[in-house]
Structure 1
Amino acid sequence: MKKYILVTLVIAGFILNSCKPNFKHLQKEENNYHITTESQLQNKEYAKRIENIYDSGIEGNFTGKADINIYFKIFKQPKKEKAAILISSGRTEAAIKYKELIFDLYNNGYSIYIHDHRGQGLSGRMTEDHDMGYIDDFQFYVDDMKYFYDNYLKPKEHKKIFLLAHSMGGAVGLTYLEQNTTDFNAAAFSSPMLGLTPPICGAVKLLIGTEPKYALGETKYNDDKVAFEENNLTSSKIRYARLIKAFDKVPKAKLGGATYQWINRSCNQFEYLFNNLDKIQTPIILFSAQNDAIIDVRAHQRFVEKAKSLNKEGRAYIVENAQHELFIEKDEQRIESINEILNFYNDH
């Protein structure tokens, strides 16, 4: 495999466990955990194995805050497990988007727990318009996750429990860690949503009304597919095609554009996150995609600077030549990111 690199995120001092102050790069050549490759995805029998593992998961529902139905899936190891992982997904996402990642983690001995956040995926909506990206209270994301943890993970007496959060799920996950300091042994964050590109947060406060309304430029889900060459999520053609196909097979899981309310409540949450960062006790690893066009990556630098000033334990990396969706990126970026996550879990 061609050599590829993760570059440390601006402040190398945040990397407490593995490097000296003058540390510059991480270099690896091996697919240490036998993570799925793009060539394997082209094999129909291999792709079917991924589907079979996903279909074998136990699915269920629980009632979240304000009586919203929350959908989940659980993938328990049949015998001895290494640990459990709770996945907190991004906006518009659903468990079906994580089939390949679930397959890879499961094959490495982990039990997997994932729920669709309220207002998206196969969970209940808070608006009459099924496609609206809306949240009644950002804290409810966290409350739902806590209920899922307490009722479906903790009683199972796992040896260890890790958090794996992506994008919006990162904001949910960090809030969770600030409010529940001992629930996870370690946490990994892929392109966490810690800020939106200015002047979005300032402008939305002038436009928000009392009723849910699509933000400027946002619409219902558009079935006219964005061509791979025009997408701003991933550089992997085959993984992008699999993403589109997964949601086409389950149209109920699709979600459209964000409302002013969702944007405003997310922006308010960013302030809360940074104001309460001192409460986090969980070791953290953070990955920032070099070519991310979805969230404000400058917020990652701010996070690392503050975490370093508070002497928090963690590591932070820029993933070179990567777009926002690290878990469906090309092999170089995806495998290296997952390698580092599993190394981090092994250390904790």
Structure 2
Amino acid sequence: MSWTFTDEATLERGFSTTIETFWQRQVEQSVMTGKDGVSVHVAWCVPNNARNTVVISSGRIESLLKYKELIFDLYQNQLAVFILDHRGQGLSGRMTDDPQHGFVASFDDYVDDLLTFTDTIVAPRQVGQLTLLCHSMGGAIGALTLLRDPSRFSKAVLASPMFGIRPALPPWLANSLVHTGLAWNRLRKKRSGYFFGQTPYVAFPYTLNKLTHSKVRYELFRQLYDEERQIQLGGVTSEWLHAAQVAMNRIEACAPQITTPTLIFSADGDSIIDNDRQRRVARRFADAQLEVIPEAYHELFTEADQYRDKVLTQTLDFLTQP
């Protein structure tokens, strides 16, 4: 199958016209009520003669606004696309008194929201089979969702899934600091607090970034977060890290129980994810294909064309096969 994707040169010239115009004319947005009454911002678009339906589960700090180019490309290739901003980030509601806290009480809350989204927003508009497309933290959420409801999605693609985080500290020290942070927040009667060394939102220049080789895509990302200050998110809290540890341990332990046909991309130049653990877990899935993308950084959907085109081609080939 031949697919059409936006290239970096076209993106630089036409983002504000072609993709922004598409976003205003074709994409619908709404707010649903997630678990415990948290507001969850959602968006979708359904082309004529859609092949099937894809639900996007995004990464930490991300907003659906960051996915405009990807959503445009999927739509142009006849996929109905649905995406939500996970609780505590993007345009969705916060659960602490600091809107920049990277916080969640449990990754099960993310899963509850994703299933509610598919039940209430996606299902009434679904065309063809229902598939799942995940990035980073969204991959952990996706894996937990496949464990919770194995028959929900016919196929799943996980890009740079967060099955392990590359630590700056030895595991024993990181675990000790997480528990110290949790105890300190309980002592202060605070629901959350930044993990040691974490800060509010910081915008790094392209030359210091380890997310993508694409300068134009990185600068569009930073421009978006400068303009839409409400989607800015700082570092993780001790509570988020504890919840992530619990989630990743469960995924590793239960990986053989994930039976949904899955395509997993591992970015070989990833400095965010522990690729050794990620690949170990991926190989334990019951029905998964692992593809390593040499030299690519973490953000495979906003990488340079040479990496992104390969990932998207394999993704669409996989998701649209009968």
Normalised to the residue count of structure 2, the TM-score between the two structures is: 0.92
Q: Aligned residue for 1:58?
A: 28
| Counterpart amino acid of residue 205 in structure 2 | A
| C-alpha deviation, 1:317, in angstroms | 1.0
| Counterpart amino acid of residue 317 in structure 2 | N
Q: Aligned residue for 1:217?
A: 197
1:39 aligns with 2:9: yes
**Unaligned runs of at least 5 residues, structure 2:** none
| Counterpart amino acid of residue 40 in structure 2 | I
CA contact (8 A) 2:181 2:193 kept: no
Q: Aligned residue for 1:230?
A: 208
What is the rounded CA distance, in whole Å, between the counterparts of 1:328 and 1:161 in structure 2? 24
Matches for 1:1-348 after TM superposition, within 5 Å: 32-44=2-14, 47-56=16-25, 57-77=27-47, 79-198=48-167, 199-200=170-171, 202-203=175-176, 204-209=178-183, 210=186, 211=190, 212-222=192-202, 225-307=203-285, 312-348=286-322
What is the rounded CA distance, in whole Å, between the counterparts of 1:134 and 1:63 in structure 2? 18
What is the rounded CA distance, in whole Å, between the counterparts of 2:180 and 2:246 in structure 1? 14
| C-alpha deviation, 1:244, in angstroms | 0.6
CA contact (8 A) 1:40 1:47 kept: no
CA contact (8 A) 2:80 2:127 kept: no
SS of residue paired to 1:299: helix
Q: What are the superposed Cα offsets for residues 156-215 of structure 1, whole Å, 9 maximum, x if unpaired?
A: 342111100000000000000011111111100110000122435523234322231101
Query: What is the RMSD computed on CA atoms of the aligned residues?
Result: 1.5
Say how many residue pairs are matched: 310
| Counterpart amino acid of residue 216 in structure 1 | F
| Counterpart amino acid of residue 257 in structure 1 | G
What is the rounded CA distance, in whole Å, between the counterparts of 1:336 and 1:215 in structure 2? 36
Percent identity, aligned pairs only?
34
What is the rounded CA distance, in whole Å, between the counterparts of 1:82 and 1:47 in structure 2? 27
| Counterpart amino acid of residue 318 in structure 2 | F
SS of residue paired to 1:189: strand
SS of residue paired to 1:60: strand
| Counterpart amino acid of residue 99 in structure 2 | H
CA contact (8 A) 1:182 1:281 kept: no
What is the rounded CA distance, in whole Å, between the counterparts of 1:80 and 1:236 in structure 2? 32
What is the rounded CA distance, in whole Å, between the counterparts of 1:344 and 1:141 in structure 2? 25
CA contact (8 A) 1:221 1:256 kept: yes
CA contact (8 A) 2:166 2:271 kept: no
**Unaligned runs of at least 5 residues, structure 1:** 1-30
| Counterpart amino acid of residue 32 in structure 2 | F
| Counterpart amino acid of residue 153 in structure 1 | V
Normalised to the residue count of structure 1, the TM-score between the two structures is: 0.86
What is the rounded CA distance, in whole Å, between the counterparts of 1:196 and 1:330 in structure 2? 23
SS of residue paired to 1:276: helix
* Worse overlay, 102-111 or 33-42: 33-42
What is the rounded CA distance, in whole Å, between the counterparts of 2:126 and 2:134 in structure 1? 22
SS of residue paired to 2:283: helix
SS of residue paired to 2:196: coil
What is the rounded CA distance, in whole Å, between the counterparts of 1:81 and 1:119 in structure 2? 31
CA contact (8 A) 1:132 1:214 kept: yes
| Counterpart amino acid of residue 2 in structure 2 | N
CA contact (8 A) 1:326 1:334 kept: yes
SS of residue paired to 1:84: strand
